[in-house]
Amino acid sequence: MSLSGKVGLVTGGAQGIGRAVVESLLNSSVKVAVVDLNQEVGNECQVQLDAKYGEGNCTFIQCDITDGDKLKDAFQRTVDLYGRLDYVVNNAGINNENDWEKTIQVNLTSVIKGTYLALDHMSKEHGKSGGVVINVSSMAAFLHSPHQPVYTATKHGVIGFTRAIADASLLGDYGVRINVLCPAFVNTPLLHSVENEANMGKFVKFKDDFKQSMNKFGVLQPPLIAEGVMRLITDSGLNGAVMKITCSKGIHFHTYEPPSA
Ligand SMILES: NC(=O)C1=CN([C@@H]2O[C@H](COP(=O)(O)OP(=O)(O)OC[C@H]3O[C@@H](n4cnc5c(N)ncnc54)[C@H](O)[C@@H]3O)[C@@H](O)[C@H]2O)C=CC1
Ligand SMILES: CCCCCC(=O)/C=C/C=C\C/C=C\C/C=C\CCCC(=O)O
């Protein structure tokens, strides 16, 4: 399936999982907007990607996604620059149990806003040609840790929101498939912040529990997560899917029992 001519937007795309997703999209000839808070890492990312994929194929947009107006502008700039929008990956996330309200804003509220903005630009309801949204949750939504209670709550929230809005998209004939991705531990700067007391607050004392879990379940590399994202983009049968990626089972899907009366 050729993705050439399509346009993607990835939040938190300057490093870690987001950066791997951006590179997979560029490898598939998708033009990409890299939306990220970090100016320095974003500038570096732009230089490296221009050198590797050629100028004009991606653009770094500095943006704090918790600022609704700025996020809206980032979407508009992408469409103004590339003429359309087909894929949105709401990936940016933090783990700050000290400033837990910020964690909710970044990990959940901004994912909801990013999904609604994606629908504004892609839904058939608005005369657009459809697309795919991928919201990044975590295996933390299935295997909770005492080390990160609010982070865990946000990742549960992302799954619930995504499944419900995916049903709305199907029933409303929006032409947009909306799926959620739940990686286990991934080797990124975020994972290395596990011992950072400024972020983890009083829960830092439970870091050994977290580290034991990492040793038990292993640590994935970002390119495998990007492979999962590309599958969610290209498999036209997937809507409301909850993709899990773990060391033991690789890329697989969560199944829910149908509710009984
Ligand atoms: N690394 C891991 O073990 C796992 C990560 N995840 C999730 O994957 C996603 C990506 O995480 P990583 O790549 O590991 O993190 P990371 O910290 O390596 O990269 C996150 C990127 O998001 C950006 N960002 C943070 N706050 C932002 C804001 N307010 N506005 C715009 N950009 C912002 C950062 O500048 C950074 O470039 C997150 O949602 C995370 O919760 C899920 C499961 C496991
Ligand atoms: C500083 C904290 C960074 C948090 C990043 C994150 O999202 C961490 C996830 C935490 C837990 C992952 C949960 C479970 C581990 C993975 C797999 C269990 C399933 C068993 C298997 O199939 O291997």
Tell me: pLDDT of 137 over 90: yes
Least reliable range by pLDDT among 124-128, 191-195, 224-228: 191-195
In angstroms, what is the span from residue 90 Cα to ligand 1's centroid?
10
Are the CB atoms for 235 and 200 separated by under 8 Å? no
Ligand 1 proximity of 96 Cβ (cutoff 6 Å): no
* Test site for ligand 2: of 143, 145, 211, 245, most ligand atoms within 8 A of the Cβ: 143
The one catalytic residue among 82, 87, 151, 174 = 151
Q: Atom 11 in ligand 2: which residue has the minimum CA distance?
A: 140
The closest of 90, 41, 85 to 62, measured between CA atoms, is: 41
Catalytic site includes residue 151:
yes
Cβ–ligand 2 distance for 82 under 6 Å, the answer: no
* Cα(53)–Cα(41) distance, integer angstroms: 18
pLDDT at 88: 99
Q: What was the pLDDT predicted at 258?
A: 84
Q: How far is the CA of 155 from the centre of ligand 1 (A)?
A: 12
Q: Which of 92-101, 141-150, 165-174 has the lowest mean pLDDT?
A: 141-150
Sequence-ordered alpha helix ranges (H) in the chain: 16-27, 39-53, 68-82, 100-104, 110-122, 149-171, 197-200, 207-217, 222-234
pLDDT at 1 over 90: no
261 pLDDT tier (thresholds 50, 70, 90): confident
Residue 87 is predicted with a pLDDT of 99
Give the pLDDT score at 260.
Answer: 86
Confidence of residue 159 (pLDDT cuts 50, 70, 90): very high
Mean pLDDT computed over 164-191: 98
pLDDT of residue 22: 98
pLDDT of 10 over the 90 cut? yes
The pLDDT assigned to 192 comes to 87
Residue 195: predicted pLDDT: 87
35 CA to centre of ligand 1 in angstroms: 12
pLDDT averaged over the chain?
97
How far apart are the CA of 252 and the centre of ligand 2, in A?
Answer: 15
How many other C-beta atoms are found inside a 10 Å radius of the C-beta of residue 50? 15
Give the mean pLDDT of 117-133. 98
Digit-coded pLDDT (tens) for 37-87: 999 999 999 999 999 999 999 999 999 999 999 999 999 999 999 999 999
Lowest-pLDDT range of 25-29, 202-206, 214-218: 202-206
What would the DSSP string read from start to end of 56-110? TSEEEEE--TTSHHHHHHHHHHHHHHHS---EEEE------STTHHHHHIIIIIH
Q: The complex's ipTM?
A: 0.95
3-state secondary structure of 153: helix
> In this structure, which residue's CA is closest to atom 18 in ligand 1?
16
Residue 142 has pLDDT above 90, yes or no: yes
Q: Decide whether any atom of ligand 2 lies within 6 Å of the 184 Cβ.
A: yes
Q: Above 90 in pLDDT, residue 144?
A: no
| Nearest ligand, measured from the Cα of 200 | 2
